[in-house]
Structure 1
Amino acid sequence: MVVGSLRQETEVAIIGGGPGGYIAALRAADLGKEVTLIEERKRLGGTCLLEGCIPSKALITAVELADSARAASKMGLTFENLSIDLSALRQWIESVVSGLTKGIDGLLKRRGVEVIHGRALFDGPRSLILENSDTAGIDFRECIIATGSRINELPPEYDLAIWSSAEALKIPEVPERLLVVGGGYIGLELGLVYAGLGSRVTMVEFLPRLLLGADPDLVEVVVKNCKKKFESILVESKVADIKKTSSGFTATIEHEGKTHTAEFDQVLAAVGRRPNTDNLGLETAGIVLNGEGLIEVTPEGRTAVPHIYAIGDVTPGPPLAHKAIREAKVDSLVRTQNHLRKRPWRYRQRG
């Protein structure tokens, strides 16, 4: 751990440079506040931009173009020797991500937002200490916690070079047989990407249907498409065991009261996310987490400590970038009557 020797003051400190954090910084700056944004990574953008929404959408775009080219033969258009250069595809995705991160840097600079790279944690209700930064700490009047979430860790017994969603987005290879564990939006997106790249995809979901929580009528359309592209979809099923073999993986799958084994070249675990609320020193600021490790907030985004706000994945609700962006417009920082737009939605699972 490296701690700097300088300490500074700011009106608004924002912890986290993802969609919630940088949008909150821009909004606070527009409201005339002195803003300091602290981000642990070397680049801004958070999971969505660096290893989530944007890379996955770029991959989906490439796969859809390849599908269109293959389908064009029906119209008399043929593309001989159509192939996908994985190295070039990776470079193109990185160019998309880099362009957007530079755009965020420029927006913050033009608004006068100070960006500090380092790890921030509370050492009191009005102060932060910074690790791995030239700045030792920050004293603030108000703070916004926007640290996002991370991929759920697999149990130690499954430390078998299984892919996470972040690793799958790097396209290390296109496995001939791919097992996707988890039928949420992350598993579905990546399953469809790899099916489009040529993998034979098997999806296993523990719950009664895919995308549980989304409108069943819409899910029906998605599932219909997935059935055309995946080798099999198993709901109300679970992967009971995974073993590494010389040629890949052997998975033991429980489905409809029966157990069978199947061979795969790679396994992708897409089993949800957890909030980045641990090791932030929240207790020193007077903030207590709920049973799910989330920060409870008022409709205006305030925590139990009125001058500290929380937005995005660290608060109850779906861990989605557009939720964080909407919650980021914290107008109550200037005590106007136009508070953070009260959250009109109620989060509930839909059966």
Structure 2
Amino acid sequence: MKPIIGITMGDPAGIGPEIIVKSLTNASVYDICNPLVFADARVMKAALKVCKSNLRIRPVEQVKDARFEHGTIDVFDLKNVDMAQLEYGKVSAMAGNAAFESVHKVIELALAKEIDATVTAPINKESVNLAGHHFAGHTEIYGHFTKTKKFAMLLADEALRVIHATTHVSLRQAVDLITTERVLDVIRLLHDACLQFGINNPKIGVAGLNPHAGDGGLFGDEDEKQILPAVKQAQAEGYNVEGPLPPDTLFAKAIQGKYDGCVAMYHDQGHIPFKLVGFKWNNETQNMDSVKGVNVTLGLPIIRTSVDHGTAFEIAGKGIASEDAMTIAISYAVKMAQNKKRNQEAGVRN
């Protein structure tokens, strides 16, 4: 199976279009999938110039019109950017609206089963909100338009896989949102995701919220009152899970292979160790040599993966952005789409 992968351009003032062009330069991407970019075709043509690429852009109005031939990027042309007003590295309502419409359209077609999976380039939350679309990020947009109540963000890169009990909220709000029900939900989502990635009987480590996972209540009681009951219930259901564990050792062990997945309680608790592993800063060039890592939204009726970095406005339009994360995000989407298809076929046969 060669799935159709819908790729959103992200914020047109950011590096999204560039990393898409660079990723689709690789013939190996076309060997595993049929990529279709959702963007304004003029934005993608400008990205070709930025990247000094010999590829061509082919605008289409329907999925069935795409040819999926390496050397030509099929673009589902949304025609929603005024190129005279577009400035790289600038926050604007126009760019935010274009990014939002790209995401909305790809969700719509994935729900209609015209495409098999979706991959998103980075958006700028300020621009999206300036355009009147009041969402904290991609995860919340997908949750809203798929009418999904129980979903979560998973970061994945080689041995480290981290799911978040809470994401784009204040730290004060996060503490209140960490309930036994929520922690149990994300343990189940993480277990199912690992199975989709081909990991049998995954071992899951659950991070504590407080220093030393509360240390028996000395540093807060949330670990014992909310997180521990979720872990015990998951164990009773047959999951291979441990916790709550001090996060300062949990992630170090996970990177070395002790755990197949980790549950983080809030945004930065999970993102910091993940980016320490996947982001490689070059102090001489003052740029990132490599930016790896995939963001997967779990619990949705459709597949969504994404790069795990921002719009990088400071380098947008310079042609130096790394496409590593985009290429990996596409490969994850392909793997998940193929496994989903196989599971559906197996279910029909059974």
Q: TM-score, normalised by structure 2?
A: 0.26
Name the structure where helix makes up a greater proportion of residues.
2
Name the structure where strand makes up a greater proportion of residues.
1
Larger radius of gyration: 1
Q: TM-score, normalised by structure 1?
A: 0.26
